[in-house]
Amino acid sequence: MRVREMDIELYRHYFDSLQIGRKSDWQYDELKPCGVNYNSVLCALSYDVHHGKFRDYQRESEEIIALLGLDADQTVLDMGCGTGAFAVHAAKHSRKVYAVDVSKAMLRCARRKAKKAKLDNIEFHRAGFLTYEHKAEPVDAIVSTAALHHLPDFWKLTGLRRLAQMLKIGGRLYLFDVVFSFNVDDSESRLNQWVKSTAERIGPTFAEEVEIHIREEYSTYDWIMESMLKHAGFVIEMANYKHELMAAYLCTRKGE
């Protein structure tokens, strides 16, 4: 039975890859699960309940909208939109939202939220940093929350450069992700403490996800992330490092 399930998953991934074509055979496959499998229907359905234990989606969205200065005449791209928490909220404050994610299951949840909220100004796309093709005019703002760490650093920079081309000159990028700012010599103690504190505050299930993230996903260091943002064509206006584990950046796209 396990072999059959693996075969089904393999063929499903193969056909998905045909739908979202890579430009070259050597291009990183951003559709394949990296760490926690957010392509899973069960994972997508439980995502909001799980993350709602320690996140306030509405407050987060309002803070991002205020930072970006979004208004009803502007357009925004949500890269790695997940279940649509930010996209749905942003659609109430902007002219148009482009919501992009590699997971069919997460997009399905996001579409349901938009339908329930009776919003018709969200355009959903199944793609990612490396495969999304923006056909419309450059957007006024881009938001990406806890998605970029699914790419290795080389491909992070590639994805950021692509985002810059989708953004108006002078437009703003808000990026939030797992970024380490502790001393590399302290990494073992800091990561062990992260897992332990997560288990105490949120529970063992999410602590396991933290372990998976450290082991299988692609966190990076603050000095690397800042350099990548600058090389991608952004000016960093704000860099907020939280608990030496997370970072939020507010950036502006430079002129040509």
pLDDT in tens, 46-64: 666 666 666 788 899 999 9
Mean pLDDT within 234-253:
97
Residue 248 banded pLDDT, cuts 50, 70, 90: very high
| Domain 3-253: CATH superfamily, name plus number | Vaccinia Virus protein VP39 (3.40.50.150)
Q: What is the DSSP letter of 94?
A: S
Residue 1 banded pLDDT, cuts 50, 70, 90: very low
* Per-residue pLDDT tens over the stretch 193-233: 999 999 999 899 889 999 999 999 999 999 999 999 999 99
Cα(200)–Cα(33) distance, integer angstroms: 27
Q: What is the DSSP letter of 243?
A: T
**97: which residues sit within 8 A by CB, 6+ positions away?**
75, 76, 77, 78, 87, 90, 91, 121, 122, 123
Report percent pLDDT > 70 for the chain: 86
* Per-residue pLDDT tens over the stretch 131-188: 999 999 999 999 999 999 999 999 999 999 999 999 999 999 999 999 999 999 999 9
